[in-house]
């Protein structure tokens, strides 16, 4: 925005007028939803009752047979706002419903575009989250909303902006659906490519494999190695060239290459930290969130929040990494502790896995690695679209 004028950095061609400050309450009406007694909420009925939670799940719907004024209903395309607990604007895309007390329906004046206002309210919500340290449990009052100052251009420019962001949101939704479908596919494949509990043969196999899988303890196929922390007050132990991981760095991606903190050779020597070899080590968090995993791509050490798996015999690392859901399940069962749960080296060694031949491990591991890579690419696409939208919000609206 120009420092002295109410104009955005980026505009559609043909628009040059300044935007105007307007009081939100003079441009819209916030209509209250209806409060219900529990006895009025039916398991079956004529009209679904839209509550805050129904924006996020189709479960737990209630119904009503009450005939109410037209303003008490929300129809497809209406702009709604949840003002208690999880708060924010929504375009309702379902059938006719009665909206609950914790939801406002917003009626706009003829000078305001619905899609444009939606983006203003989304941006306003983001700012509120920043001011409340990310807490979504905020109680907004109607008077607070009505007093808000919004900056708006002429209606035709609003419509241009609103339509652009509606297309971006549609693109985001489609990309998120693509990602969700891939995640569901992976979940289904993991359930079928590995044997169910109590069995030794999976439901789904690559052609040419028929033998039962063989039960092995982790200690038979790996060495379990913990970590340690050099004295944080000794500067000679830190800012070296040895990667040193903490649990918060693990869990988002299958591979790790570089840690946030580094230690020196002296720091390694003066602590219980150990160097793990690359490619054959699976870092495994052992406390305060047991079971986050990553394959080490460069030699590294860890702090004491790990019991890492150094594979030694006839195993394919990505196969074991993909089998991590079973390692995590057993680790959480074996974990103990009064302050926080933690699994020891001794208990990690007790974990059992059903393993196929190395050839079958490689087939499964390679296939799942390709799927994970595809999921990562789709996530990157989603992130890029979000970045584009964020940049446009910053430049096409007036702060």
CATH at residue 396? 1.10.287.1120
For residues 245 and 320, state if they share a domain.
yes
Q: Say if residues 88 and 53 touch (Cβ distance below 8 Å).
A: no
Q: What is the CATH number of the domain that holds 241?
A: 3.90.220.20
pLDDT, residue 56, reads 84
Question: What's the structural domain count of the chain?
Answer: 3
For residues 261 and 324, state if they share a domain.
yes
Q: Among the three residues 153, 169, 192, which one is the final residue of a domain in this structure?
A: 153
pLDDT, residue 3, reads 55
Q: Say if residues 266 and 231 touch (Cβ distance below 8 Å).
A: no
pLDDT, residue 135, reads 57
Query: Beta strands of 77-182 (E only): which ranges?
Result: 79-82, 88-91, 97-99, 103-108, 149-152
CA 173, CA 179: separation in Å to the nearest integer?
10
Low-confidence stretches of the chain (pLDDT < 70) are 1-4, 131-137
Any domain includes 8: no
CA 87, CA 132: separation in Å to the nearest integer?
13
For residues 238 and 183, state if they share a domain.
no
For residues 233 and 330, state if they share a domain.
yes
Find how far residue 388's CA is from the centre of its chain. 19
Domain of 84?
A: 20-153
- 33: its two tokens: 């939803």
For residues 242 and 284, state if they share a domain.
yes
Find how far residue 167's CA is from the centre of its chain. 22
For residues 329 and 230, state if they share a domain.
yes
For residues 110 and 178, state if they share a domain.
no
Query: Please, what is the Cα angle at 181 between 367 and 174, to 5 degrees?
Result: 130
For residues 226 and 261, state if they share a domain.
yes
pLDDT, residue 42, reads 94
Any domain includes 245: yes
Q: pLDDT per residue over 118-169, tens digit each?
A: 999 999 988 887 766 555 567 788 999 999 999 999 999 999 999 999 999 9
Any domain includes 7: no
pLDDT, residue 133, reads 55
Q: Within 10 Å of residue 389's Cβ, how many Cβ atoms?
A: 18
For residues 27 and 70, state if they share a domain.
yes
Q: How many helices (H) and strands (E) does the chain have?
A: 10, 20
For residues 140 and 161, state if they share a domain.
no
Any domain includes 91: yes
For residues 232 and 349, state if they share a domain.
yes
For residues 256 and 316, state if they share a domain.
yes
Any domain includes 281: yes
């Amino acid at each position: 925005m120009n420092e002295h004028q109410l104009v955005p950095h980026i505009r559609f061609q043909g628009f040059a007028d300044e935007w105007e400050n307007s009081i939100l309450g003079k441009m819209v009406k916030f209509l209250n939803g209806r409060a219900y007694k529990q006895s009025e909420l039916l398991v079956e009925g004529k009209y679904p009752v839209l509550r805050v939670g129904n924006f996020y799940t189709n479960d737990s719907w209630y119904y009503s047979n009450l005939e109410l004024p037209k303003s008490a209903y929300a129809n497809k395309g209406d702009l709604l706002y949840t003002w208690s607990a999880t708060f924010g604007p929504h375009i309702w895309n379902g059938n006719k419903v009665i909206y609950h007390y914790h939801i406002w329906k917003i009626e706009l004046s003829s000078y305001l575009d619905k899609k444009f206002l939606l983006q203003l309210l989304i941006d306003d919500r983001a700012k509120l989250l920043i001011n409340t340290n990310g807490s979504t449990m905020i109680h907004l009052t109607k008077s607070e909303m009505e007093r808000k100052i919004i900056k708006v251009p002429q209606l035709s420019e609003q419509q241009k902006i609103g339509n652009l962001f509606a297309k971006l949101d549609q693109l985001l939704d489609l990309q998120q659906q693509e990602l969700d479908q891939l995640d569901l596919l992976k979940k289904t494949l993991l359930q079928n490519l590995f044997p169910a509990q109590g069995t030794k043969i999976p439901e789904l196999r690559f052609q040419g494999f028929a033998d039962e899988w063989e039960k092995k303890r982790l200690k038979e196929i790996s060495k379990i190695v913990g970590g340690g922390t050099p004295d944080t007050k000794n500067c000679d132990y830190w800012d070296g060239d040895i990667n040193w991981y903490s649990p918060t760095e693990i869990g988002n991606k299958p591979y790790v290459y570089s840690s946030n903190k580094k230690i020196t050779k002296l720091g390694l020597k003066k602590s219980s930290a150990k160097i793990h070899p690359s490619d054959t080590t699976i870092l495994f968090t052992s406390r305060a969130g047991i079971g986050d995993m990553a394959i080490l791509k460069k030699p590294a050490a860890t702090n004491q929040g790990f019991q890492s798996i150094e594979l030694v015999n006839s195993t394919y690392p990505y196969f074991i990494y993909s089998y991590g859901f079973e390692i995590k399940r057993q680790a959480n069962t074996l974990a103990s502790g009064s302050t926080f749960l933690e699994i020891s080296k001794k208990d990690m060694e007790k974990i059992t896995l059903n393993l196929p031949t190395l050839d079958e491990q490689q087939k499964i591991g390679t296939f799942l690695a390709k799927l994970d890579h595809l999921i990562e690419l789709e996530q990157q696409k989603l992130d890029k679209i979000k970045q584009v939208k964020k940049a446009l919000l910053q430049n096409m609206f007036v702060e």
